[in-house]
Structures are given as structure tokens and as C-alpha cells.
Structure 1
Amino acid sequence: MLDALLVDPADRAQEDTGQSIGRISGTFLGTPYGPGTLIGSATLPEELVVNFLSMDCFTFLEYVEALRRSITKESFILRLIETRYVRNEVNFLRRKHFFTDWAHVTHPIADDVAGNVSKHSQTTEKKLNQKDIDETYIPGLPVVERPVTYIPARFIDLDVVERLQTGDYIGIYAPQAGLDVSHVGIFVVTDHGPMLRHTSSIEHRVSDSPFIEYVEKKTGIVVLRPHHDFALRRGYSQT
């Protein structure tokens, strides 16, 4: 499957970022949902996992983001490490466990654009990973204070949708103080309208859900826009 996803550089050059993400993510439609495919914890050594046979919502995004910047198998592995880990270090403590890590850690790969997409966006100060006073969501991982900006569901209308772009990474805002999002997917404009392309634990596969119908039942959305020039800045044509 990897070979089929690695497009000739000349053809890839004809695509913009959104087209590339839309095409690559579409290849995964129907792929089974599989939770907990990554290996590593505070007590178990981290391993680099590549699994196209099943994936959860976040690993789906990781594979798409890495693939859209890859032209060889070797470059895909490097781009996946770059996407999944801080400072390219395959280590549990360096893994980007939270969606907003993509926009806030060293060498971010996306921009938080919720504030640009809607004037009704709100920002909440979070203590990511803190579940209770003496408990964390992910054992062994420190608590990180971070502002999280989101668009409340009641303000997500056609005007907001028109400001979104195919390829935007969407997080479903989590109201808990220690979480940023509860689910992630990709905004894609299709022949059937705007969709959230995501790995659904309900449908047990990668599928498209009508965007507004899906998000209007949620708390709100976080919007991360991938860097259009990231591939060139970080050595797209190199392995």
C-alpha cells in the first residue's frame, strides 16, 4: 500500500497541500478502526509502529501528514518520526500525545487557525494530562499548561465552513480541563459536500461524515492548518 501512496515528485508538485491530504486520506476510506496500535509507555520502551491495516483517529492523521510529505519509503519513515515525535526522538516522553502538540511544540507542523476561522472562537487555559489532583490521563507524562482555542458548536455555520480548507485537521473540543480534544479528523470538501473524514469507533472504519451534522452535536472544534511550505522547509525532496 505504501508504494501506491508515494506519488512521483513531478505529479505531487501539481497538488496543493489540501489536494494532497484529500487524495491520500481518501485512499484509507474503509480501513478498519483499531485502538492502541502504538507500542510504548512510561514502563515499556517505545517502538516506531507503522500499521496501515488498522488505525485510530490520531494515527490516521499521523500517516496522512507524513505521507503527504514523502516521496520514498525512507522519507516516509523520517516524516512519520518527525510528525509523531518531538525533536525526531522515538521516545514515549517525546511522543506528541495531544492534538494541539502539532501547533505548539518545537518545530510545529500546523498552525492553530480557529481564531481566524471564526470571530466567535474562545480560548481556555488547559492543564493537559491532569485528570485529578493526584491522577493523570497518561501515566508517566507531565502536565502541560496550554491555551486551547476552539469554535463553539453553536457558531459553526456555512460561513465558518467556507473559511475552512480541505486538509484542515479538526479536533472535537473536550471540555475536560486535562484534555484538548476527544476526537480528530480531516475537513474535506467532496462531491457530496463538506465532510469530516475520520476513523470512527462507531462505524469501525475510516469514513466520511457530513461535517455540520457531525460537529453540531459536539462541544466545538479546534482547527489546525498544516504548513503549506513545510515539506520544502524540512527537506521534502530528501530521504
Structure 2
Amino acid sequence: MSRQFLSIISLLFITFYCQAQFVCTIPSTKAFEDKLTTLNQLPLQGLTSNEKAISIAKTFVGEPYLEKTLEINEKREDLVINYLGFDCTTFVESVVALTKLYSGEDNEKFRNLNHYASILEYLRYRDGRRNGYPSRLHYFTEWVRNNQKKGIVTDVTEKIGGTVYDKKINFMSTHITAYKQLVGNDSALVEVKKIEDQINTKPLSQIYIKEIAEIESKIEPGDIIALVCKVDGLDVSHVGFAVRLEDHRIHLLHASQSGGEVEITKKPLAEWLKNSKLNTGITVARIN
């Protein structure tokens, strides 16, 4: 039995037996339902997960950028679904969740908000279990590692030419005031430090900016691209999807804070990052 098939069965099992409780406003619910209407008109059957993901991701182009949509309750970790705007991470999570929602050609009856919520919770939280603020996969490195463990994505960074580098990840525990849920919450802080320690038990890898052009033929449209950053203690500053345009080059499809919406970079990824003062390279994860 294939790993992808097992992943699909796992997600369906979660929905059937344990529907997630979530927060989704009436306008956001309408926007989600409109998205399903759009996707139902796309020829998604028979596509690979990556092909499906990039087809779905392109339907978000022009959607507004909106940050901190998950931080609606400082005392309780709610499963928030917001389809009125996206930051880079919620955009990626939404596309991956929709890709899984449309996995299996005979699963139309599961394509609804309740099933989507179950998938999203499985993606967003450590081992698929929401148990307070620290259970959210805040560091994208851990997001990839944990969702690889679940069989949803595979980190292909080293496989396609990346190299290992050394960096201590501790940004959250050393910048507590930037996270309201950690201020005055010693137990949550202890958990975050444990998570950081766990991340630091394994080496990090990246494809350096100067090497992207050489290996971009190995990057597939629909791959998740994370931008490795120079900030002390932080692994990744931005995420999006690889898309190959008419120039046959890899560009980044992402929720852009500077652009104010979901968009595709005008320059190829290698040139777009060439003079970056914030980033050193990229990591690449492939949807199973």
C-alpha cells in the first residue's frame, strides 16, 4: 500500500471519527464555499499532488495579504479558518489542505468545511493534535519535519543539491514579547524551549542563493519553498510555492506582504533572491 494512499486514508479517518472544532466567520465560510465552487470546475483528477497543489494555488492569486489571522484568542488556541486574507504560512497551509481535500477521485462527499477543518488541524499542529499554543507548528522547519512524519510532505532539499549548515533555533524563547501568548505564561515557554531543543537535535540544510539557478531544474512546480533567513535564532522568514512560467524558470507564488496580495514574483526565484539582505538560501519540500 503506497505512502500517499495511507496518508489519504488517515485524513479521511480523522474526519469521519473526529470532526475538528473550529472558528470560521460567516464571510469566511462563504469565501471558502466559493473556493470549492472554483476548484470543482478545475480538471484536478489524475494530477500528481504537486500538480494539483499548483493548480489550486494559482486560484489564490490576487487574494489579499492579511497577517496574524490565527491570533484571535490569547488564552485559548482555536483552530482558525480565515479565507478573507492570508499570510505566507496560512496560504501554504490552505493550499496543502485543499490538495488533500481533493485527493481521491471518489471522495466528493468529504469536500466540505468540516473535513477541511480536520485536515487543516492535522497539518497545523504537532502530530495532528491541538493542545494549546505551543502545539502549533510555529517553526517551519518543524512544520516540514512533522508533516513528513505524517506522510504529507518530503523534505527534498539535500536530495536536489542542498547542504547542511549549523544554526541554533531559539527565536521564540529569546523574543517572548513578540508572542503575546508567551508573556507571563511560564508553562507555554517551557514547552517552546523543549520544541526548540528538539529542532536543534538535527542538522538544518539549505540550497544557497548562488546555487539556486544551477539546481532549479530539479525543483518541481508545486514544491513548497521556504526562505532561510539570517536572523539569529530563526530558521525561515517566508514560504510559498514553486511555479514554472513561460520563461521555463522557477518563480515564487506566495502571499506577499510588500505586494499586499497573493502573487507570483516577476523575476525568477534565483534573481529575486540574488541581492537579499535577509535570506541566505531556500529549503524545498514536496507534497506526497
**Shorter-chain-normalised TM-score: which range?**
0.7 to 0.9
Instruction: Give 2:36's aligned amino acid.
Output: D
**Structure whose alpha-carbon radius of gyration is higher:** 2
TM-score, normalising length from structure 2? Answer: 0.70
The percentage of aligned residue pairs carrying the same residue is 27
Deviates more, 1:101-110 or 1:201-210: 101-110
Corresponding residue to 1:118 among 147, 154, 161: 161
Which 5+ residue runs of structure 1 have no aligned equivalent? Answer: 228-239
The match for 1:88 is 128
Q: Tell me which of 199, 220, 224 is aligned to 2:281.
A: 220
The correspondence for 1:61, drawn from 54, 68, 92, is: 92
RMSD: 2.4
The gaps in structure 2 that reach 5 residues or longer are 1-33, 103-110, 183-187
- Report how far residue 169 of structure 1 moved: 0.8
Aligned pair count reads 222
CA distance in 2, matches of 1:110, 1:2: 23
More displaced stretch, 147-156 vs 58-67: 147-156
Per the alignment, in what secondary structure is the counterpart of residue 117 of structure 1? coil
Higher helix fraction: Structure 1 or Structure 2?
A: 2
Comparing 17-26 with 58-67, greater Cα deviation is found at 17-26
Q: Which moved more, 1:210-219 or 1:54-63?
A: 210-219
Q: CA deviation at 1:13?
A: 3.5
SS across alignment from 1:183: strand
Are the counterparts in 2 of residues 113 and 225 from structure 1 also a CA contact under 8 Å?
Answer: yes
Contact map agreement 1:39 1:48 (CA 8 A) in 2: no
Who is 1:45 aligned against? 76
Of the structure 1 ranges 61-70 and 208-217, higher mean CA displacement relative to structure 2 is found in: 208-217
Report the equivalent of 1:33. 65
**Correspondence list, 1:66-215, <5 A:** 66-71=97-102, 72-73=111-112, 74-90=114-130, 91-105=132-146, 106-107=149-150, 109-118=152-161, 121-130=163-172, 132=174, 135=176, 138=179, 139=182, 140-141=188-189, 142-143=192-193, 144-145=196-197, 146=199, 147-157=203-213, 159-192=214-247, 193-209=249-265, 210=267, 211-215=269-273
| Equivalent position SS for 1:225 | strand
CA-to-aligned-CA distance 1:158-212 (integer Å, 9 cap, x gap): x311010111111111123421111111111133542100011111000001322
